[in-house]
Amino acid sequence: MGALAGKVAVITGASRGIGRGIALALGEQGATVYVTGRTVEAGTSPLPGTVGETAADVDQRGGKGIAAACDLTDDEQIAALFDRVRAEQGRLDILVNNAMAIPPEMTQRLGFWEKPLSNWEIFETGVRAAFIAAWHAAQLMVPRKSGLIVALSGYVGVTYTYDTIFGTTKTATDRMMRDIGIELKPHGVAALSLWQGFTYTERAQENLRTVPGMAAQLNSAAGSSVEFPGRVIAALAQDPQILARTGGTFINAELAQEYGVTDIDGRTIPSLREQRGSPLWGPQ
């Protein structure tokens, strides 16, 4: 029986990429994982992966995967997701806000004024929808005086990467989790932000092939699999002193070394603190 058996998790944006990796890592520890995302049918996205396929993979890992279609731009769909968790499980132990819109222009080397204003959807999904999900999650966690809310961020919170809206979104994410953590701590619920470095997602691998100059900018040895952040989150969820971290922003690679976590190939992922910057917010 896995260390997270009996625990219930909601992962946003888990059809593919980091969200899928986190779902698999938590499933491997025996968790029941609500796999959320917009892609239900194969072939409807230019990238592979559906919520159903990820849920099936969670089952294969030893957990229980539950596919839950959800468009994070629709507040009613977010509310319905958490109503479903309440009705089916009666509890929620882990929320991971991973989803964020990634329009094709984000990685293009253009000024912000040359990109469409519709790219503000990066902020809408990465911050607004994450806040709404945390709002619903807190209502399940606070009465039980237990739970963990995690938001995925990155060095982009302090270092220019890709474009203005992307950096604004991640910086806001870190500050939002700092304040959410402060407000939840008296109720026994932890909330924090995690900095993930370069990750070999499906989209990232496509960008390496198509975005001019991107491959040359990378330290490939620092890249991780999509499951690496999930392994760190699984360790956090098992930490009896997790409240001591609430409100903080942490570098995944550093937490991994502290918890003895490696990537799926056994590698130790290096911290890029010296090269890319340090988190602004410590535990509160």
pLDDT digits 0-9 by tens, 122-153: 999 999 999 999 999 999 999 999 999 999 99
How many Cα atoms sit within 13 Å of 142 on the Cβ side?
Answer: 13
| Domain contains 33 | yes
The structure tokens 């399940």 sit at 140
Average pLDDT of the segment spanning 110-124: 97
DSSP string, 215-270: HHH--GGG-B-TTHHHHHHHHHHH-TTGGGGTT-EEEHHHHHHHHT---TTSPPPP
Residue 54, pLDDT score: 97
Does residue 284 belong to any structural domain of this protein? Answer: no
Specify if 283 maps to a domain: no
Question: Strand, coil or helix: what is 160?
Answer: coil
- The one-letter amino acid code at 240 reads P
Full domain range(s) for residue 134: 8-276
Considering the domain boundaries, does residue 246 fall inside one? yes
Number of structural domains (the chain) is 1
Distances (CA, A) of 165 to 14, 58, 80, 174: 22, 33, 29, 14
**Contacts for 36 with CB less than 8 Å, ≥ 6 apart:** 10, 11, 12, 13, 14, 51, 68, 69, 70, 81, 99
In this predicted structure, what is the pLDDT of residue 74?
97
Distance CA 237, CA 244 (A): 13
Q: pLDDT exceeding 90 applies to what percent of the chain?
A: 83
- The string of pLDDT tens digits covering residues 8-67 is 999 999 999 999 999 999 999 999 999 999 988 877 777 778 999 999 999 999 999 999
Is 282 within a domain? no
Residues 173-217: tens digit of each pLDDT: 999 999 999 999 999 999 999 999 888 876 655 555 555 555 554
CATH of the domain at 253: 3.40.50.720
CA 232-171-227 angle, to 5 degrees, is 20
